């Protein structure tokens, strides 16, 4: 099984751990966190995992790449912390 750990919005260079702190200040409102920080709003690749991380209050999400049709794109994007869309 091949997995990828997603722990940040690459476009905004904001970790999910950092965004969890913002979420705590805003009663866990994911949309507020995205609007305040810009995380999840540029290319949108992290958005589903950002939502999941904030809702579950965890700093990272482990993604099973076997079930992802765009696995190659995900690996390229999230493996390079300085990549942009």
pLDDT of residue 1: 58
Q: Kindly tell me if the per-residue pLDDT of 24 is higher than 70.
A: yes
pLDDT of residue 81: 61
Q: Which residues pair with 64 in a beta bridge?
A: 3
pLDDT of residue 82: 57
pLDDT, mean of residues 42-63: 95
Residue 11 vs residues 5, 14, 18, 58, 81: alpha-carbon distances, Å = 16, 8, 14, 20, 8
44 Rama sector, left if φ>0, alpha if ψ -120 to 50, beta otherwise: left
Compare 82 and 50 and report the one with higher pLDDT.
50
pLDDT, mean of residues 13-24: 95
Encoded tokens for 73: 């794109």
> For 25-33, which contacts have Cβ atoms below 8 Å and span 24 or more sequence positions?
28/54, 28/55, 28/57, 30/54, 30/55
Q: Kindly tell me if the per-residue pLDDT of 21 is higher than 90.
A: yes
- pTM of the predicted model as reported, rounded to 2 decimal places: 0.86
């Amino acid at each position: 099984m091949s997995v990828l750990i997603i722990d940040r919005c690459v476009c905004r260079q904001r970790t999910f751990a950092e965004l969890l702190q913002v979420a705590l200040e805003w009663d866990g409102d994911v949309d507020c966190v995205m609007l305040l920080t810009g995380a999840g709003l540029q290319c949108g690749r992290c958005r589903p995992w950002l939502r999941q991380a904030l809702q579950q209050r965890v700093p990272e999400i482990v993604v099973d790449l076997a079930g992802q049709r765009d696995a190659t794109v995900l690996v390229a994007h999230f493996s390079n912390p300085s990549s942009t869309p």
